[in-house]
């Protein structure tokens, strides 16, 4: 059966409205060998909403994030992105989803060390078929908006942690992603830089109606969220009020 | 995407450049080794083609016809060096000119190869043996640069005695016929050599694999499709692999002078002969590039997107069990095939070897893991680090040492096969001549000329008791006996035969032969050579007998003489029932005291008698052992090639492993680990598994060698030394590679990567 691809490029058709649910995680379970990382975890994210997932180490936060983003396939349960089950997508479709609809900001390693800042930011656009010049121009715009335009020609190894995370934020948003998944995005940064990076990411996301799912154990980072979801032993706990 | 991949491969700074250069060199080496292997057959064919005109057996004209040339070949010896002597004769200048000579030599003239010219210079006793030297034989007629060839002129009627008359020369010669054991050795050797070459090529694309996997994981995360990732991976390895492919023929050209020096069938190779051809070269290079790209793509497909730098798909426990069961089944299949191959089935022996190799490859990781577990229990941080590495990454550890394993396996296996094979080929036990005696074969001389030769030989200092012998066969129900007709006392003195008592009856028969002819009243002698030499295919002169009889009454016996060159029966000519004058001698036997006397005698005989050859125990032994020596040449060549390929694999893989892990070492040093501890762990993680795996391969090799040569005692003592050498070199390589840890962890680029 031919797979129907329901996701349009942003701005083309069918943009969600505020209050619409864009991502719904239903009863996810995932085990790594004998260890159960997720146990009937559920989560919902609305258009433009910022959701923080908090919990102690080993509670399954990162696994939930990876499953929700389609990076890790759960053992059971569903992840519905605007009605389509992400867990059942082919590898090609899953890649397309990550390329066009999702963005990622992780604590380490998501930048390609061999490419400079502007190339790293332009990467999703290039993979999506944009021309080099056009992609780089858009990437420079995003670097400027994050106040790191002067780092365009520098490689990740030549930047500070905060600068590298800003590049990662720019890359996550460059395709105007509808959902950004952030796993401990400020985990390696000092307090001041953490606030600055979070503030910039949240501001740009709100500006573009992008939802953010951020995994953190830092209450001050969680304070930027509209909603906080707790996790313990692989289960999601009650959602705490609007931030 | 290809462009992005290339951008990524050149964007990695100095470490990426080092890896790219190493990849290119490794691909180049792999391609060069394959080209060397594929150039052997064309080289042998080129040799055979140039020698084809000296080995013709089908005439197309009568000798003496206008426009023809008559060619006959014989063998001469200088010391133990075998010289091919080609006698040519043409009735006029219309016939074809033999290749490699500027003009047809006239009777008494000779053209010699440079190697023969050198021999003539070094041995004054040989001067004049082949006639007056008019010039050099060029490469167009030589099998190799040190080929010993003489092209000499003769009258047509002389050359026609045993020659072939043609109007043109063939351009295609037959390749040497291979015996069953040679085919077996060749097939096993090719397979053994192919394994490390494949390993070397596969290592080339794994050199920067960790970095590429990290990049691939990051690209996968941002949404690169599998097709895009494949294109990027190809782009990443394309430049160094293509550079390696371009370099391959250059490395091959660099190896040629060394390969060309390897002697085969008595002569080394012309470098120009060692050419696999343009089409083969292009195919090999395309195949090497294809294999490298496929290897890189296949290797990177096991990497999955992750938030951490790189995460490999873990090997499922089920797969480990499947691998173990497959290894066991392959080992059993190898045993089964070996049982079949003891009945001389080359295919099953090769299949058994392939199964054993596959079983070792499949079980290797488990063995390395087991060694790692043992190391972990030893005291010390170095042992813990090494042990953990072996347990966690057994395949990466196995990569550099598997070439060593193959080398050990092949060495111990061939150590058993080669002597057994040589024994089956070597007919040296059939040589019966005594030391210090010679047999001059003079097939085309008259009795008077032979007597003249004997007189001349008797005058040579150091030549003793020369005498003529007429040869014949004795008809027997179960075959034939060799008979020498001549003066028994003279023969006894010239040949120094053991236990020869001539008695008084004139008929002496070996003890074994005497048992066969009991009851016979007379012996029938045939294959007598008529007094007048004639061409072999000429109609015998009906007025002269070719059969004679001798009465057996009162025969005396002698000890049976071993060897195909010794007689079963010695007959006094006076006992024949025909006139002995109608039969000509074809053999002159004599004793000699010095090599100088022997060479002088050879020159005397060979310069006066057409197609004469003076054989000694040494040269007959050499002639009979040619097949065995060819086998030893091939095995020696294969062993050297295998050693070189395995050494390259070991060095490249050991260095590449350290380069790939430079970040881990840097972190460990930053965390306070002593350099000496890290170096010790590098030595342990290389040396211990190579010793264990090497010993396992040795045991498998001994078992295979023993099974392939049933009934032979395994030459264990001869194997210990080469195996020890291989393992010592491997351990030394790992020890030396440990010295790289210091410079690698000092690199500033490692810190900022």
Cβ-defined contact of A126 to B225 (cutoff 8 Å): no
In the β-sheet with B69-78, what is the strand arrangement from edge to edge?
A: B132-136, B109-112, B149-153, B81-89, B69-78, B164-166
Asked if the C-beta of A152 comes within 8 angstroms of chain B's C-beta atoms, the answer is no
The per-residue pLDDT for range A29-73, each reduced to its tens digit, is: 998 877 888 888 888 888 888 999 988 888 888 888 888 888 888
Give whichever of A125-139, A228-242, B220-234, B341-355 has the largest mean pLDDT. A125-139
Task: Tell the burial category of B334 from Cβ atoms under 10 Å away from its Cβ (0-12, 13-18, 19+).
Answer: buried
CB B471 within 8 A of CB B478: no
The per-residue pLDDT for range B485-523, each reduced to its tens digit, is: 999 999 999 998 877 888 777 889 888 888 888 777 888
Cβ-defined contact of A98 to B308 (cutoff 8 Å): no
Question: Could you tell me which residues are beta bridge partners of residue A214?
Answer: A52, A182
| Average pLDDT for B288-310 | 66
What CA dihedral angle connects B393, B398, B401 and B407, to 10 degrees?
Answer: 180
Mean pLDDT rounded to a whole number for chain B: 82
Residue B522 to residue B548: CA distance in whole angstroms = 10
The yes-or-no verdict on residue B673 having pLDDT over 80 is no
Cβ-defined contact of A112 to B224 (cutoff 8 Å): no
- The answer as to whether A67 is a domain residue is yes
Question: Could you tell me which residues are beta bridge partners of residue B587?
Answer: B441, B469
With b meaning 16 or more CB within 10 Å and e meaning fewer, what string describes B42-65? ebbebbbbbbbbbebeebebebeb
Nearest to B691 by CA among B653, B740, B655, B729: B729
Question: Could you tell me which residues are beta bridge partners of residue A228?
Answer: A52, A240
**Residues in chain A, how many?**
243
HEC per residue, chain A: CCCCCCCCCCCCCCCCCCCCEEEEEEEEEEEECCEEEEEEEEEEEECCCEEEEECCCCCCHHHHHHHHCCCCCCCEEEEEECCEEHHHCCHHHHHHHHHHCEEEEECCCCCCCCCCHHHHHHHHHHHCCCCHHHHHHHHHHHHHHCCCHHHCCCCHHHCCHHHHHHHHHHHHHCCCCCEEEEECCCCCCCHHHHHHHHHHHHHHHHHHCCEEEEECCCHHHHCCCCEEEEEECCEEEEEECCC
The yes-or-no verdict on residue B76 having pLDDT over 70 is yes
- pLDDT at position A97 is 85
- The answer as to whether A154 is a domain residue is yes
Shortest distance, CA B294 to any CA of chain A (angstroms): 20
- pLDDT at position B651 is 80
The yes-or-no verdict on residue B310 having pLDDT over 60 is no
Structure tokens at B377: 């229990």
The per-residue pLDDT for range B608-623, each reduced to its tens digit, is: 999 999 999 888 877 6
The yes-or-no verdict on residue B183 having pLDDT over 70 is no
Residue A224 to residue B293: CA distance in whole angstroms = 47
Residue A225 to residue A212: CA distance in whole angstroms = 8
CB B668 within 8 A of CB B382: no
Cβ-defined contact of A109 to B307 (cutoff 8 Å): yes
Q: Which residue range is the domain that position A189 belongs to?
A: 21-240
| Chain A residue nearest residue B308, CA to CA | A109
Which are the contacts of B371, defined by CB distance < 8 A and separation ≥ 6? B390, B688, B689, B692
**At which residue do the structure tokens 């060029």 appear?**
B138
Comparing B369 with B712, the larger pLDDT belongs to: B369
Asked if the C-beta of A55 comes within 8 angstroms of chain B's C-beta atoms, the answer is no
Set of chain B residues whose Cβ sits within 8 Å of the Cβ of A115: 7-8, 11
| Average pLDDT for A198-203 | 84
Shortest distance, CA B233 to any CA of chain A (angstroms): 14
Residue B739 to residue B682: CA distance in whole angstroms = 9
- The answer as to whether A163 is a domain residue is yes
The yes-or-no verdict on residue B182 having pLDDT over 70 is no
Nearest to B210 by CA among B654, B666, B662: B662
Nearest to B611 by CA among B70, B174, B90, B168: B70
Q: In which band, very low, low, confident or very high, does the pLDDT at B207 lie, cut at 50, 70 and 90? A: low
Mean pLDDT rounded to a whole number for chain A: 82
Task: Give the least confident one: A132-141, B67-76, B620-629, B650-659.
Answer: B620-629
Task: Give the least confident one: B146-160, B201-215, B319-333.
Answer: B201-215
What value, to the nearest 5°, has the Cα angle with vertex B734 and ends B729 and B738? 145
* Of A92, A112, A119, Cβ closest to residue B218: A112
Going by DSSP bridges, is the β-strand pair A211-215/A50-54 parallel, antiparallel, or unpaired?
Answer: parallel
Cβ-defined contact of B309 to A111 (cutoff 8 Å): no
| Chain B residue nearest residue A112, CA to CA | B215
Give whichever of A27-41, B5-19, B298-312, B710-724 has the largest mean pLDDT. A27-41
8-state DSSP, B272? G
- The answer as to whether A116 is a domain residue is yes
Backbone angles phi and psi of B144, in degrees to 5: -160, 175
The yes-or-no verdict on residue B107 having pLDDT over 70 is yes
**What's the total number of domains in chain A?**
1
Q: In which band, very low, low, confident or very high, does the pLDDT at B749 lie, cut at 50, 70 and 90? A: very low
The yes-or-no verdict on residue A108 having pLDDT over 50 is yes
Cβ-defined contact of A127 to B308 (cutoff 8 Å): no
Q: Is the ipTM of this complex over 0.85?
A: no
CA of residue B694 relative to chain centroid, distance: 25
- pLDDT at position A158 is 83
Cβ-defined contact of A95 to B4 (cutoff 8 Å): no
The yes-or-no verdict on residue B717 having pLDDT over 60 is yes
Going by DSSP bridges, is the β-strand pair A227-232/A102-106 parallel, antiparallel, or unpaired?
Answer: unpaired
CB B310 within 8 A of CB B218: no
Q: 3-class DSSP state for residue B498?
A: coil
| Chain B residue nearest residue A127, CA to CA | B224
DSSP per-residue letters across B546-583: S-EEEE-TT-EEEPPPPSTTS-SEEE-GGGSSS-GGGB
Asked if the C-beta of A154 comes within 8 angstroms of chain B's C-beta atoms, the answer is no
**At which residue do the structure tokens 């002639």 appear?**
B623
Set of chain A residues whose Cβ sits within 8 Å of the Cβ of B7: 114-115, 119
Stated as kind and residue range, the H or E segment containing B136 is: strand B132-136
Comparing A156 with B119, the larger pLDDT belongs to: B119
- The answer as to whether A6 is a domain residue is no
Cβ-defined contact of A128 to B223 (cutoff 8 Å): yes
> What is the share, in percent, of chain B residues with pLDDT greater than 70?
84
CB B432 within 8 A of CB B554: no
CB B708 within 8 A of CB B417: yes
* Of B16, B221, B753, Cβ closest to residue A71: B221
Question: Could you tell me which residues are beta bridge partners of residue B74?
Answer: B85
Residue A106's alpha-carbon distances to A45, A66, A157, A165, in angstroms, are 19, 11, 16, 8
- The answer as to whether A55 is a domain residue is yes
Q: Tell me, what CATH number does A35's domain have?
A: 3.40.50.300
- pLDDT at position B537 is 53
Task: Tell the burial category of A35 from Cβ atoms under 10 Å away from its Cβ (0-12, 13-18, 19+).
Answer: exposed
Residue A160 to residue B376: CA distance in whole angstroms = 38
Q: Where are the beta strands (DSSP E) in B227-364?
A: 303-304, 311-312
Stated as kind and residue range, the H or E segment containing B416 is: helix B394-425
Residue A201 to residue A90: CA distance in whole angstroms = 30
Q: 3-class DSSP state for residue B160?
A: coil
State the angle between helix axes of B346-376 and B675-708 in degrees (0 to 180), rounded to the nearest 10. 150
- pLDDT at position B539 is 53
CB B539 within 8 A of CB B596: no
Other C-beta atoms closer than 10 Å to the C-beta of B322 total 12
8-state DSSP, B171? S
Residue B109 to residue B100: CA distance in whole angstroms = 15
């Amino acid at each position: 059966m031919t797979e129907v691809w329901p996701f349009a490029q942003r701005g083309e058709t069918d943009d969600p409205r505020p209050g619409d649910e864009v991502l719904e995680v239903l009863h996810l379970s995932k085990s790594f060998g004998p260890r159960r990382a997720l146990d009937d975890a559920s989560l919902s994210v609305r258009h433009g909403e910022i959701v923080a997932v908090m919990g102690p180490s080993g509670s399954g936060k990162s696994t939930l994030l990876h499953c929700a983003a389609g990076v890790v396939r759960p053992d059971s349960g569903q992840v519905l992105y605007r009605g389509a089950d992400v867990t059942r997508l082919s590898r090609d479709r899953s890649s397309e989803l990550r390329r066009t609809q999702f963005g990622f900001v992780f604590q380490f390693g998501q930048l390609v060390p061999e490419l400079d800042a502007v190339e790293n930011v332009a990467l999703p656009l290039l993979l999506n078929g944009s021309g080099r010049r056009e992609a780089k121009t858009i990437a420079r715009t995003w670097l400027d908006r994050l106040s790191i335009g002067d780092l365009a020609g520098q490689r990740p190894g030549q930047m500070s942690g905060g600068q590298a995370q800003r590049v990662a934020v720019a890359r996550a948003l460059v395709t105007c992603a509808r959902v950004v998944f952030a796993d401990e995005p400020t985990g390696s940064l000092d307090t001041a830089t953490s606030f600055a990076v979070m503030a910039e990411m949240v501001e740009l996301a709100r500006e573009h109606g992008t939802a953010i799912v951020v995994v953190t154990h830092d209450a001050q980072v969680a304070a930027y969220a509209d909603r906080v979801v707790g996790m313990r032993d692989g289960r999601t706990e009650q959602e705490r009020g609007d931030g | 995407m290809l462009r992005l991949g290339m951008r990524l491969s050149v964007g990695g700074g100095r470490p990426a450049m080092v890896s790219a250069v190493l990849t290119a060199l490794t691909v180049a080496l792999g391609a060069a080794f394959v080209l060397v292997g594929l150039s052997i057959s064309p080289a042998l064919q080129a040799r055979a083609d140039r020698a084809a005109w000296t080995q013709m057996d089908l005439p197309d004209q009568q000798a003496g016809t206008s426009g023809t040339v008559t060619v006959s070949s014989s063998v001469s010896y200088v010391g133990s060096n075998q010289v091919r002597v080609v006698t040519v004769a043409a009735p006029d200048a219309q016939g074809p000119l033999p290749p490699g000579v500027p003009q047809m030599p006239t009777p008494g003239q000779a053209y010699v190869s440079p190697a023969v010219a050198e021999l003539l210079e070094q041995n004054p006793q040989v001067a004049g043996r082949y006639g007056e030297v008019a010039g050099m034989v060029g490469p167009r007629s030589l099998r190799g640069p040190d080929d010993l060839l003489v092209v000499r002129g003769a009258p047509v009627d002389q050359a026609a005695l045993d020659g072939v008359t043609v109007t043109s020369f063939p351009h295609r010669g037959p390749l040497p016929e291979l015996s069953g054991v040679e085919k077996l050795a060749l097939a096993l050797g090719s397979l053994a050599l192919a394994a490390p070459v494949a390993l070397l090529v596969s290592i080339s694309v794994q050199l920067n694999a960790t970095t590429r996997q990290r990049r691939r994981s990051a690209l996968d995360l941002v949404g690169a499709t599998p097709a895009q990732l494949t294109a990027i991976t190809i782009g990443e390895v394309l430049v160094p692999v293509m550079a390696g492919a371009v370099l391959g023929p250059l490395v091959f050209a660099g190896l040629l002078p060394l390969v060309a020096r390897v002697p085969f069938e008595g002569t080394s190779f012309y470098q120009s002969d060692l050419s696999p051809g343009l089409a083969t070269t292009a195919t090999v290079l395309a195949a090497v590039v294809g294999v490298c790209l496929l290897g890189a793509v296949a290797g990177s497909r096991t990497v999955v997107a992750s938030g951490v730098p790189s995460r490999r798909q873990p090997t499922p426990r089920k797969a480990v069990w499947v691998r173990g069961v497959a290894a066991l089944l392959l080992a059993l299949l190898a045993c089964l095939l070996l049982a079949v191959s003891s009945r001389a089935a080359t295919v099953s022996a090769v299949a058994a070897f392939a199964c054993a190799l596959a079983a070792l490859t499949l079980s290797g990781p488990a063995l390395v893991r087991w060694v790692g577990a043992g190391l972990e229990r030893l005291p010390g941080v170095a042992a813990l680090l090494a042990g953990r590495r072996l347990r966690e990454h057994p395949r990466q550890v196995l990569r550099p040492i598997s070439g060593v394993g193959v080398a050990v396996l092949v060495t111990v296996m061939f150590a058993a096969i080669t002597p057994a094979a040589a024994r089956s080929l070597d007919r040296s036990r059939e040589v019966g001549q005594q030391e210090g005696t010679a047999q001059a074969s003079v097939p085309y001389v008259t009795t008077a000329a032979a007597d003249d030769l004997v007189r001349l030989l008797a005058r040579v200092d150091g030549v003793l008791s020369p005498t003529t012998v007429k040869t014949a066969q004795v008809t027997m129900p179960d075959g034939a006996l060799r008979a020498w007709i001549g003066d028994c006392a003279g023969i006894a003195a010239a040949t120094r035969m053991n236990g020869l008592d001539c008695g008084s009856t004139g008929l002496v028969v070996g003890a074994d032969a005497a048992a066969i002819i009991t009851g016979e009243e007379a012996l029938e002698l045939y294959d007598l050579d008529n007094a007048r030499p004639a061409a072999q295919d000429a109609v015998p002169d009906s007025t002269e007998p070719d059969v004679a009889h001798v009465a057996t009454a009162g025969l005396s016996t002698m000890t049976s003489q071993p060897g195909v060159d010794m007689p079963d029966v010695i007959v006094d000519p006076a006992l024949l029932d025909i006139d002995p004058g109608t039969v000509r001698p074809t053999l002159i036997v004599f004793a000699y005291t010095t090599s100088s006397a022997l060479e002088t005698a050879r020159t005397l005989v060979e310069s006066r008698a057409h197609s004469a050859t003076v054989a000694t125990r040494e040269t007959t032994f050499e002639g009979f052992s040619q097949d065995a020596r060819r086998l030893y040449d091939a095995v020696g060549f294969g062993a050297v090639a295998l050693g070189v390929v395995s050494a390259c694999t070991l060095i490249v893989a050991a260095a590449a492993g350290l380069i790939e892990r430079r970040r881990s070492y840097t972190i460990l040093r930053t965390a306070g680990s002593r350099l000496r501890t890290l170096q010790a762990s590098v030595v342990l993680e290389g040396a211990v598994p190579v010793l264990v795996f090497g010993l396992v391969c040795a045991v498998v090799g001994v078992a295979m060698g023993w099974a392939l040569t049933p009934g032979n005692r395994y030459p264990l003592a001869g194997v210990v030394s080469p195996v020890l050498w291989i393992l010592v070199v491997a351990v030394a390589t790992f020890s030396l590679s440990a010295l790289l840890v210091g410079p690698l962890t000092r690199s500033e680029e490692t810190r900022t990567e």
